Amino acid sequence: MRQEDIIDCTYWLGGWATNCRAKCCRCSRAMLANRISYWLGVTGPSYTVDSACSSSLYALEHAFRAIRDGHCDAAIVGGSNLCLHPYVSLQFSRLGVLSPDGRCKSFDNSANGYARSEAIVVVFLQKAKDSRRVYAQLLHAKTNCDGYKEQGITYPAGHIQKLLLREFYEECSIPPSILEFVEAHGTGMLTLIFINQKRFSIPTKCPEIST
């Protein structure tokens, strides 16, 4: 759940939310995952993760490790992005990351930003021995942070991201040379496209998720 979802929700509800005693339960980021646990009657670890564009990936990693370490037998991982109020889009536009023509042109010299969209996605993870239907296998999950950069906090650090990929494949004993498909971030900004292209030095099908 991204922070702008919460901001959107609060603005959208407006004055009604201000006077509603249940506002803290309906719009609080701390309560969102708990409300799902409450509705389903499940009792394992339950919390909301917000790391902007990588929120769902971080949530997936947490779920993977929780199952692996024996904290739970299965996990529900959900990700959402809702555009309920123009305030957040206005802020991103002022930051210069939105495409003026509303098109995300990843891996293209004419790339000039991305277009915001909405989605709610949920996956159910469990140990292979307990599964009824297997749609995909999750072999490993790993994240890191760029740390300090002279260009600013929003600028990507390609060498740190390459380090993450190298460590990832070493830890799960998968040689990158056998990869057939990679899903890139795909924000459609020239700086990030250049970083994305530098990550992969082997021929690979590499669409970008935003496009």
**CATH entry, 1-82+118-137, from 3.40.47.10, 3.40.50.300, 3.40.50.720, 3.10.180.10:** 3.40.47.10
Residues comprising the chain, all counted: 211
Contact partners, residue 172, CB within 8 Å, separation at least 6: 139, 140
Beta-bridge mates of residue 122: 78
Backbone angles phi and psi of 148, in degrees to 5: -75, 140
**Angle at CA 183, nearest 5°, toward 50 and 146?**
50
- pTM for the whole thing? 0.80
Q: Is the dihedral of CA 68, 167, 174, 161 positive or negative?
A: positive
Model pLDDT for residues 70-91, shown as the tens digit of each residue: 999 999 999 999 888 888 889 9
- How confident is the model over 85-144, as pLDDT tens digits? 888 889 989 988 899 998 888 888 888 888 898 999 999 999 989 988 999 999 999 999
Residue with tokens 């057939």, as numbered in its chain? 180
User: Quick one: which of 134, 130, 163 has its CA closest to 146?
Assistant: 163
